Amino acid sequence: MRLIDQKALRQLKRNKLAIIGIVFIISLFIIALFAPYIAPHDPYQTDFFNTLQGPSREYLLGTDDLGRDVLSRLIYGARISLTIGFISVAIGLIVGVPVGAISGFYGGKIDIITQRFVDIMMAFPGMLLAIIIVAVMGVGLVNAMIAVGIVSIPTYIRLVRGSVLSIKNKEFVQAAKAIGVRESVIIFKHILPHCLAPIIVQSSLQIGVAILWAAGLGFLGLGAQAPTPEWGAILSQGRGYIRTAHHVTTFPGIAIMLTVLGFNLLGDGLRDALDPKMRN
């Protein structure tokens, strides 16, 4: 089964906002991939004679309190933020998709237990739950990624469960059951492929959310630790100088905002293209 047919692809191409999001995300990937060649300075190199300098010809986005080039740290930070986004979403997918599929397909006690567990997790605000997980596991970038990934699991469980419930009584599924196809094959070969469109749309949106939450953890000092150039950590390091050197926090904030916006535009475009009800 083709995930994106020609009609959906044409719909995506006509969505100018989605194209803007795609172009920005591709550009961000290129910047992250070639960071050592693009960054004008070493992101860890200090220069105590040029601390908290505003944007200039030598330092295009200025320097921080240790004289490090803000632009170079943002460029290297793109690597970290994208890695956080994709690994966190991967954790949510690996756990949430099969659990949601099994819950929706079998129903009964399995579904009740699973959904009550999801209800408990979703009763906490996402950021608060991530903070609790990091507090238990310990401070650090890896634990922050795991925490954000765990927080996204209930979303995938609910999404996949709902899709499976709407598909499992279709004729092709009943026919597969009638000829004796194993239930695991029915779930993962016949049902889940029809759930890929909403999963992909949710994943594209979730990457932006994961980057935002990870930046929040970094800002609170629970994620990446100094001197790692993670966008949230850069924001946290510059908040004490927001009145005298606002560029230290302004540019990382803009980077976070544009990245999340780019993934949101992509997600909205994929939703419009892949959902027949949303097509013009």
Residue 1 lies in a domain: no
The whole-number pLDDT of residue 1 equals 46
For residue 17, tell me if it sits in a domain.
yes
Position 50 in a domain = no
Q: What CATH number is given to the structural domain containing 137?
A: 1.10.3720.10
Residue 194's identity, in one-letter code, is H
Please give the pLDDT value at position 278. Answer: 53
Q: Where are the alpha helices (DSSP H) in 168-246?
A: 171-178, 183-185, 196-219, 231-238
Structural domains of the chain, count: 1
Whether residue 216 lies inside any domain: the answer is: yes
Residue 44 near residue 69, CB atoms below 8 Å: no
Range of the domain at 121: 6-41+61-278
Does some domain include residue 53? no
> Would residue 236 count as lying in a domain?
yes
85 lies in a domain?
Answer: yes
Alpha-carbon distances of 185 from 98, 105, 165, 171, rounded to whole Å: 12, 12, 16, 16
Residue by residue, pLDDT tens for the chain (280 residues) are: 455 567 777 777 888 888 999 999 999 999 999 999 999 999 999 888 888 898 988 899 999 988 999 999 999 999 999 999 999 999 999 999 999 999 998 988 999 999 999 999 988 888 889 999 998 998 888 999 999 999 999 999 999 999 998 888 888 888 888 888 888 888 888 888 888 888 988 999 999 999 999 999 988 888 888 888 899 999 988 888 888 889 999 999 999 999 999 999 998 888 887 765 555 5
| Rounded distance between C-alpha atoms, residue 20 and residue 133, angstroms | 35
Q: What is the pLDDT of residue 92?
A: 93
Q: Are 12 and 273 in contact (CB under 8 A)?
A: yes
The structure tokens listed for 241 are 């100088």
Task: Enumerate the β-bridge partners of residue 69.
Answer: 63
Both tokens assigned to 278: 């949303």
d(CA 55, CA 163): 50
Residue 113 placed within a domain:
yes
What distance in Å separates the CA atoms of residue 275 and residue 280, rounded to the nearest whole number? 10
